[in-house]
């Protein structure tokens, strides 16, 4: 399968009643995320049983084809699931996002052996992680320095990755490396590396965000990987698929901002000062009214991008929609959670209210999977500006 930017892309093969699907996702989030996330957040420990529960509920591999146990649905349904889970907690939700994105690299681009890993991921038996970023290669992915050197039927990987979500929990690290140093992205390939291989070390990074789904530094020291674990597809083809991740990121923050707004509205109704609810003051009420528009605008942009993605249109025709949705949702979630924090006043800054946690969680939104500037650059190019 080719994913060049001019080629038509595959469309979903199945469909569902979307209202019933949303209800199922909401019930799942209440049952499996609500009782778990606070303790996991405090302990900075990912509860693996949540991954297994998500797989059993059919939320891993939503867009995967049925041959690997997937549901064959579209990114629209995947966005519904992400939004509903994130309304309870965006950081356990991101674990599902990572499984779906890393898994899709294997089932969309992999060999039979690599698709078998994806089948196990969908079944809840094998966690995977996206292993791209490095200390010196953040947004500039083409600067990846981890090397893969061919030795007989194997490759030997050396290098250091950073910010790998669930890198210490995953069984397989879908890792980008240079196979021909000096040839830029043409010389880059992905490898499905067993995390338990000799020479792989995972060290947790002490981040304020994403806590129940920790991020790790991953060191590769002379790690031997069989040739059968090298994904056949090239860098451009695989990276193009990361645009779908941007839609899921938008849906993640849509769910989070919706939750923050609901909380702020309720607090503004029940918190009294000067003998009336604080929400009776126009300054507070108008701020929350503005947040409502942010949430609805993010909703429209996110699901519009998902629909365009599922239409099968060539990538070049959907990039503008995808980047617009990702940019807007990741900006809006910061505005909405800051407003919620403001409404919370002094109590908002304590652990007695959820406002600070929500605002802190939102700060990662503009950073991952292409920052504000990277989305703006993509949008500027698409509207015809001669940006590099």
Ligand X SMILES: Cc1cc2nc3c(=O)[nH]c(=O)nc-3n(C[C@H](O)[C@H](O)[C@H](O)COP(=O)(O)OP(=O)(O)OC[C@H]3O[C@@H](n4cnc5c(N)ncnc54)[C@H](O)[C@@H]3O)c2cc1C
The answer to the question of residue 219 lying near ligand X (CB under 6 A) is no
Which of 206, 256, 210 has the alpha carbon at shortest distance from 364?
A: 210
Stretch that binds ligand X, among 14-22, 78-86, 161-169, 354-362 (CB under 6 A): 161-169
The structure tokens 């890198």 sit at 167
Q: Give the residue, chosen from 86, 89, 114, 215, that forms a contact with ligand X under the rule CB under 6 A.
A: 215
The answer to the question of residue 331 lying near ligand X (CB under 6 A) is no
Q: Give the residue, chosen from 14, 111, 139, 311, that forms a contact with ligand X under the rule CB under 6 A.
A: 139
Is 139 within 8 Å of 370 (Cβ atoms)? Answer: yes
Q: Give the residue, chosen from 218, 341, 364, 379, that forms a contact with ligand X under the rule CB under 6 A.
A: 364
C-alpha 30/C-alpha 39 separation (Å) is 15
| Side-chain half-sphere CA neighbours of 269 within 13 A | 6
The answer to the question of residue 165 lying near ligand X (CB under 6 A) is yes
Tokens representing 192? 């499905």
Tokens representing 172? 């397989």
The answer to the question of residue 138 lying near ligand X (CB under 6 A) is yes
If the CB atoms of residues 98 and 251 are measured against ligand X, the closer one turns out to be: 98
The answer to the question of residue 207 lying near ligand X (CB under 6 A) is yes
If the CB atoms of residues 238 and 364 are measured against ligand X, the closer one turns out to be: 364
The answer to the question of residue 373 lying near ligand X (CB under 6 A) is yes
Closest separation in Å from C-beta 167 to ligand X: 7
The answer to the question of residue 7 lying near ligand X (CB under 6 A) is no
C-alpha 5/C-alpha 177 separation (Å) is 22
Closest separation in Å from C-beta 137 to ligand X: 7
If the CB atoms of residues 24 and 358 are measured against ligand X, the closer one turns out to be: 358
Closest separation in Å from C-beta 80 to ligand X: 22
Stretch that binds ligand X, among 7-15, 33-41, 77-85, 369-377 (CB under 6 A): 369-377
Q: Give the residue, chosen from 96, 106, 132, 260, that forms a contact with ligand X under the rule CB under 6 A.
A: 132
C-alpha 219/C-alpha 141 separation (Å) is 17
The DSSP element (H or E) to which 224 belongs, if any, is strand 215-226
The answer to the question of residue 371 lying near ligand X (CB under 6 A) is yes
Which of 209, 180, 64 has the alpha carbon at shortest distance from 128?
A: 64
Phi, psi of 218 (to 5 degrees): -120, 120
The answer to the question of residue 210 lying near ligand X (CB under 6 A) is yes
Q: Which residue is nearest to ligand X (CB)?
A: 138
If the CB atoms of residues 73 and 164 are measured against ligand X, the closer one turns out to be: 164
Stretch that binds ligand X, among 45-53, 190-198, 204-212, 346-354 (CB under 6 A): 204-212
The answer to the question of residue 338 lying near ligand X (CB under 6 A) is no
- In this structure, the number of other CB atoms found within 10 A of the CB of residue 9 comes to 19
The DSSP element (H or E) to which 374 belongs, if any, is helix 372-382
The answer to the question of residue 241 lying near ligand X (CB under 6 A) is no
Stretch that binds ligand X, among 158-166, 180-188, 274-282, 309-317 (CB under 6 A): 158-166
Tokens representing 361? 């969680």
Q: Give the residue, chosen from 158, 312, 367, 382, that forms a contact with ligand X under the rule CB under 6 A.
A: 367
Q: Is 154 exposed, middle or buried (0-12, 13-18, 19+ CB in 10 A)?
A: middle
Q: Number of residues interacting with ligand X: please give it, by CB under 6 A.
A: 21
Q: Give the residue, chosen from 24, 85, 106, 164, that forms a contact with ligand X under the rule CB under 6 A.
A: 164
Q: Angle at Cα 28 formed by Cα 27 and Cα 30, nearest 5°?
A: 65
DSSP 149-216: EEETTEEEEEEEEEEEETTTT-SEEEEEEESSTTSGGGGEEEEEEETTSTTEEEEE---SSSTTS-EE
The answer to the question of residue 330 lying near ligand X (CB under 6 A) is no
Q: Residues 251-270 vs ligand X: string with x where CB under 6 A?
A: --------------------
Closest separation in Å from C-beta 163 to ligand X: 3
- In this structure, the number of other CB atoms found within 10 A of the CB of residue 1 comes to 9
Q: Angle at Cα 363 formed by Cα 361 and Cα 365, nearest 5°?
A: 90
Within the chain, what is the greatest distance between any pair of CA atoms? 79
Which residues of this chain interact with ligand X, rule CB under 6 A? 98, 129-133, 138-139, 163-165, 207, 209-210, 215, 364, 367-369, 371, 373
């Amino acid at each position: 399968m080719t994913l060049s930017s001019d080629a038509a892309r595959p469309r979903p093969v199945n469909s569902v009643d979307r209202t019933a699907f949303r209800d199922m996702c909401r019930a799942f989030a209440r049952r499996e995320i609500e009782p778990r996330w606070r303790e996991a957040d405090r302990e900075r420990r990912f509860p693996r049983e949540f991954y297994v529960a998500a797989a059993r509920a059919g939320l891993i591999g939503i867009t995967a084809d049925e041959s690997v146990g997937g549901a064959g649905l579209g990114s629209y349904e995947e966005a519904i699931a992400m939004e509903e889970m994130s309304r309870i907690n965006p950081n356990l939700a991101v674990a599902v996002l990572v499984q779906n994105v890393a898994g899709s690299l294997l089932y969309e681009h992999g060999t039979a052996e690599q698709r078998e890993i994806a089948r196990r991921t969908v079944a809840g038996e094998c966690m995977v992680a996206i292993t791209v970023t490095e200390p010196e290669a953040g947004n500039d992915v083409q600067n990846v320095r981890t090397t893969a050197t061919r030795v007989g039927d194997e490759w030997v990987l050396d290098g250091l990755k950073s910010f790998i979500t669930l890198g210490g929990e995953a069984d397989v690290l879908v890792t980008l490396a240079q196979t021909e140093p000096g040839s830029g992205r043409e010389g880059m390939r992905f490898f499905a590396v067993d995390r338990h291989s000799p020479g792989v070390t995972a060290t947790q990074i002490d981040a304020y965000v994403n806590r129940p789904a920790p991020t790790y530094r991953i060191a590769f020291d002379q790690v031997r990987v069989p040739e059968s674990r090298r994904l056949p597809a090239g860098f451009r083809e695989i990276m193009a698929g990361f645009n779908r991740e941007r839609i899921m990121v938008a849906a993640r923050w849509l769910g989070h901002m919706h939750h923050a707004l609901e909380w702020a509205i309720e607090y503004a109704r029940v918190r009294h000062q000067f003998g009336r609810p604080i929400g009776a003051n126009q300054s507070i009420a108008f701020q929350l009214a503005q947040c409502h528009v942010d949430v609805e605008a993010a909703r429209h942009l996110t699901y519009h991008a998902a629909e365009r993605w599922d239409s099968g249109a060539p990538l070049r025709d959907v990039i503008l929609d995808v980047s617009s949705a990702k940019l807007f949702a990741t900006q809006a979630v910061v505005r909405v959670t800051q407003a919620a924090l403001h409404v919370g006043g002094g109590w908002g800054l304590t652990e007695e209210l959820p406002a600070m946690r929500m605002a802190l969680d939102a700060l990662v939104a503009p950073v991952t999977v292409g920052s504000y500037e990277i989305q703006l650059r993509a949008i500027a190019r698409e509207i015809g500006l001669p940006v590099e």
